[in-house]
Structure 1
Amino acid sequence: MKYIFVTGGVVSSLGKGIASASLGALLRARGYKVTAVKIDPYINIDAGTMRPYEHGECFVTASGAETDLDIGNYERFLDLDIPQGSNITTGQVYQEVIRKERAGDYLSQTVQVIPHVTDEIKRRIRTAGETAGAEIVLIEVGGTVGDIESLPFLEAIRQFKFDEGDENVLYLHLTLVPYLGTSNEFKTKPTQHSVAALRSYGISPDIVMVRSKEKLPAEITRKIAAFTSVRENRVFSSYDVPHIYEVPLALEEQGLGKAVEDLLGLERTHPNLNVWTNAVKTLKAPENEVTIAIAGKYTAMPDAYLSLLESLTHAGVANDAHVNVKWVNAEELAESGENIEALLGDADGILVPGGFGIRGIEGKVKAAEYARERGVPYLGVCLGMQVAVIEYARHKAGIKDANSSEFDPYAEHKVIDLMPEQLEVEGMGGTMRLGDWPMQLAAGTQVAEMYGVPQGGTVTERHRHRYEVNPQYVPQLQEAGLVISGVTPGVEGRGAGLVETVELPRNVHPYYVALQAHPEFKSRPMRPSPPFAGLVEAALERKRQQS
């Protein structure tokens, strides 16, 4: 197994995840079995209990792990399901080391950072690669070189070269070269200091990748090579591009793939990058344009909806369209009154995403009502399905005070209620209904057609929720015209199973679809999510009809 470690310097949020994912895409395009690991030095066990405003999206894997959003980038770029255990945190490492100490596994040794903590880090990295059956493992070390919490991880990856051999380990360091407009020059000093800091921990980078606003001039590349003792043909410019899916192409053009082949002793192979060239071609010159309003709670932090945004991009590529996203704050919607037209009137489609807590809920209900009444294509995801059911129950099924027990535990009509298996759950982290769950889709429904099973069938989507449509109200909702188009099959003692998808018939509404699942987690540039592709297609059709 080969290991590529990606570290970052100068400042955080440089894009190590995109750089790692792009390199993985280049290796995948050469036919290698690749997996990716994200190391997060925070003490949390996982990202499941962290606020979206603080940390961005919590990405859920097929196996049900709640992870850093970069795992989502890896899955989209590599077109793979990343296995559980590929997001390593300080909390996980120390929790396991302490467990072993209490169990006597260390045979009365004094337990220390070296070797016990570093050995546990290395074990987890190797296990992630073995679980994935990978030939090459990409490991991104979160944070910035110099951060005190990253030190055990840097020591662990330093040891890898001695453990595995020089020919099996590669270090790539990503830094920043700022451009000073006042003097019209790129400044390389931060990169020089960052590489020196990395070397002080015993790690000499084999490749230096530089983030910058524009592609670096040749003389700047030569200067960086000279002052960091890295060959000039192993210094790469990761400059700003209009869209992240251009990054693999830009890096391949500079020779990153060939440099990695040389450093790891891989066979020279011509990569198949058609997926990326075709996607970028559409992104740069789409035939159509459409506007989707996202009525959400975390609109000031787009990373809170990262997979959602990428799914809309994938859906746009599939429909040869540029998707303009209009952020609509759900709290503003709740207080909009007659001004709702100003917030949603120019949207060709409306998307209500997931979320937790009561804040902004009535605004999301209003968005669902607006879309239903005016024939605007609507997609509800997780909480977006629940508010669609609440809205329909209130205004079409005659259940005027319908609500969710999450928002009003004393509501008379809890059309959305806590799942029975959640009643005995203690704690918050990793206790929701998580990961891949099957959905039995009914024949002849829009959802079944979108998923390619028009005669009905079972498909799988990822979930992250505690609440569900209360089965007690399903007959009343159906009688009022709401179509239950998908359920969880084979749930013992639960009748037809949990409600997975709802929709309105085409003769009532052109596209009104909602899922309890999070289909955005499985969307890829090469395989867009069916509900998102359907939303964009319906929004384009509505725009054509109105023009």
Structure 2
Amino acid sequence: MQTKYIFVTGGVVSSLGKGVATASLGALLRARGYKVTAVKIDPYINIDAGTMRPYEHGEVFVTASGAETDLDLGNYERFLDLDVPPGSNITTGQVYLEVIRKERAGDYLSQTVQVIPHVTDEIKRRIVAAGERAGADIVLIEVGGTVGDIESLPFLEAIRQFRFDVGDEHTLYLHLTLVPYLGTSNEFKTKPTQHSVATLRSVGISPDIVMVRSKDKLPEDITKKIALFTSVKANRVFSSFDVPHVYQVPLALEEQGLGKAVETLLDLEHIHPNLGVWQNAVRVIKAPQREVTIALAGKYTAMPDAYLSMMEALLHAGIANDARVNIKWINTESLEEAEEIESQLGDVDGILVPGGFGVRGIEGKIRAAGYARSRKVPYLGICLGMQVAVLDYARNVVGLKEANSTEFDPYAPHKVIDLMPEQLETEDLGGTMRLGDWPMDLSAGTRLAQLYGVPQGGEVQERHRHRYEVNPAYVQALIDAGLTISGVTPGMAGRGAGLVESIELADHPFFVGLQAHPEFKSRPMRPSPPFAGFIAAALAGKLEAPEHKELA
């Protein structure tokens, strides 16, 4: 079949949930057997999201190819169960950089380089290329920002032209807007949606489908009113109302007929979707057999989206264990004082220390790792979370009291965590870390080898995003003191056995650290093995706790 393109735009306000809407529609099409991919357009001038503040932008999602992207690409991968191909996050910076490169190279010789056609052609080329790389039947393209933003205009013009390039039957425009509810007058207000669609039309795009975000499901009379004022058929106005969890969104939209509407508009065969994965996920989320509380001890806890993939991986692990995972947010700056440890961590079933950058809150993270180690509380350390566990072990077990990372103290006498050699000559910050999928060689008989399904040892792939590593000069001392190096990077020229990829403690219910970010590869239908094992251990420890034994 000729490739189909679905463009998702947004209006009224930002953060309405275009990413979830795009991913949910993709899930409905995947459930019908189509090969789907998704592209996120970000109008900011940054080349990528790698250097943005987590408090402002949320987490940086890393793809298999090593791109540092907007967090919506994580939603795409989780909902569609795929690894998005290179080029799936398009930014203004990327587009203009390429257009300027071509101009300097003489590709536009004798032409005056302009937004139309040169910039818009580059945008369209990137959209088509992303679909071709994925071999997709259907490409979903989410345009970031809000209709009316000056930054979005070249992208809106490009997607307007798309319909003329490939035909009406191969393009679909879906517009997501807000219908607020005014409690003082007890009514839904459609005027923001009317103005939003009018603004979209002013740039030459008439939506085929209008999706409306609201607190509650819209009454039929409001749906008809929106249809009338936007010239969209009433059966193509969909209510994306608040639900307890985003995994309910595909089911709610399918129930309203979104999948059928898209089939009709794109001249697709009408297929009954297989939504078993989503139905099972929602069942567990609504009525789990068990529950567990996990402390997420980080430094960006005021902005939960900074740990979005981490939260989703915990949810997936809960689904796999038929359990609700409650997250207790711990700001590690508050753990700097010893007396804070027991009051904040004494009531949890497991401790997760995520990645991060900078010295703020580091001593609190080290204390959290030490508490989990000494109190036999299940522990999972991710990236920096593994490094702080190593620092705690070096200080308090090996006896290197001044052990530290050169990231936090370049003059430390024991640089147990050090800059990777290939980073020594690096000057730029953006896109220069160890990024994307890298192999881990797991040792036979280790807990991680069991969890990954290679009990005799073997190689597995995980995502990475870091500059620092466990210093090889201290590895033997750590091993001699009882730390298990369960995984290393194979094939690192001149590095002997390879970089430390994972650590464990053999005499602990669950104490695991990974240099990688396995949360980026976790899916509702395929939970991350370390996360699934971590939640299973936390549940087992909860059952063995004294209060549970007394109840038994």
Q: CA deviation at 1:425?
A: 1.4
Q: One-letter code of the match for 2:256?
A: Q
Q: 2:297 aligns with which of 295, 298, 301?
A: 295
Q: CA RMSD in A?
A: 0.5
Q: Aligned residue for 2:480?
A: 479
SS at match of 1:167: helix
Q: 1:267 aligns with which of 269, 283, 289?
A: 269
Could you report, residue by residue, the CA deviation over 1:335-364 in whole angstroms, capped at 9, with x for unpaired residues? x32121111111100000000011100000
Could you report, residue by residue, the CA deviation over 1:466-512 in whole angstroms, capped at 9, with x for unpaired residues? 0000011000000000000000111111010000000000xx21000
Distance, in Å, in 2 between the alignment partners of 1:361 and 1:483 is 23
1:170 counterpart = 2:169: no
**Structure-to-structure mapping, 1:92-491, within 5 angstroms:** 92-334=94-336, 336-491=337-492
Distance, in Å, in 2 between the alignment partners of 1:29 and 1:241 is 21
Q: CA deviation at 1:400?
A: 1.0
Unaligned runs of 5+ in 2: none
Q: Aligned residue for 1:65?
A: 67
TM value normalised by structure 2 = 0.98
Distance, in Å, in 2 between the alignment partners of 1:426 and 1:136 is 40
Distance, in Å, in 2 between the alignment partners of 1:122 and 1:491 is 39
Q: One-letter code of the match for 1:390?
A: L
Q: Aligned residue for 1:544?
A: 543
Distance, in Å, in 2 between the alignment partners of 1:536 and 1:346 is 16
1:45 counterpart = 2:44: no
Q: CA deviation at 1:267?
A: 0.3
1:532 counterpart = 2:534: no
Distance, in Å, in 1 between the alignment partners of 2:495 and 2:210 is 56
Q: Name the stretch that deviates more: 455-464 or 337-346.
A: 337-346
Could you report, residue by residue, the CA deviation over 1:74-108 in whole angstroms, capped at 9, with x for unpaired residues? 00000000011000000000000011111110012
Q: CA deviation at 1:241?
A: 0.4
Q: Aligned residue for 2:499?
A: 498
Distance, in Å, in 1 between the alignment partners of 2:283 and 2:154 is 43
Q: One-letter code of the match for 2:438?
A: W
Distance, in Å, in 2 between the alignment partners of 1:376 and 1:254 is 45
SS at match of 1:358: coil
SS at match of 2:103: helix
Q: CA deviation at 1:115?
A: 0.6
SS at match of 2:398: coil
Q: One-letter code of the match for 1:16?
A: K
Distance, in Å, in 1 between the alignment partners of 2:300 and 2:325 is 20
Distance, in Å, in 2 between the alignment partners of 1:481 and 1:136 is 52
Q: One-letter code of the match for 1:520?
A: E
Do 2:40 and 2:144's aligned partners in 1 also have CA atoms closer than 8 Å?
Answer: yes
Do 2:65 and 2:437's aligned partners in 1 also have CA atoms closer than 8 Å?
Answer: yes
SS at match of 1:396: helix
Distance, in Å, in 1 between the alignment partners of 2:32 and 2:285 is 24
Q: Aligned residue for 2:19?
A: 17
TM value normalised by structure 1 = 0.99
Q: Aligned residue for 2:35?
A: 33
Unaligned runs of 5+ in 1: none
Distance, in Å, in 2 between the alignment partners of 1:490 and 1:202 is 54
SS at match of 2:79: helix
Q: CA deviation at 1:393?
A: 0.3
Distance, in Å, in 2 between the alignment partners of 1:118 and 1:65 is 23
Q: CA deviation at 1:377?
A: 0.2
Aligned pair count? 544
Do 2:58 and 2:305's aligned partners in 1 also have CA atoms closer than 8 Å?
Answer: yes
Distance, in Å, in 2 between the alignment partners of 1:74 and 1:339 is 39
Q: CA deviation at 1:407?
A: 0.5
Q: CA deviation at 1:329?
A: 0.3
Distance, in Å, in 2 between the alignment partners of 1:339 and 1:326 is 15
SS at match of 1:85: coil
Could you report, residue by residue, the CA deviation over 1:310-347 in whole angstroms, capped at 9, with x for unpaired residues? 0000000001100000000011111x321211111111
Do 2:334 and 2:340's aligned partners in 1 also have CA atoms closer than 8 Å?
Answer: no
- Identical aligned residues as a percent: 80
Q: One-letter code of the match for 2:532?
A: A
Q: One-letter code of the match for 1:168?
A: H
SS at match of 1:24: helix
Distance, in Å, in 1 between the alignment partners of 2:110 and 2:60 is 39
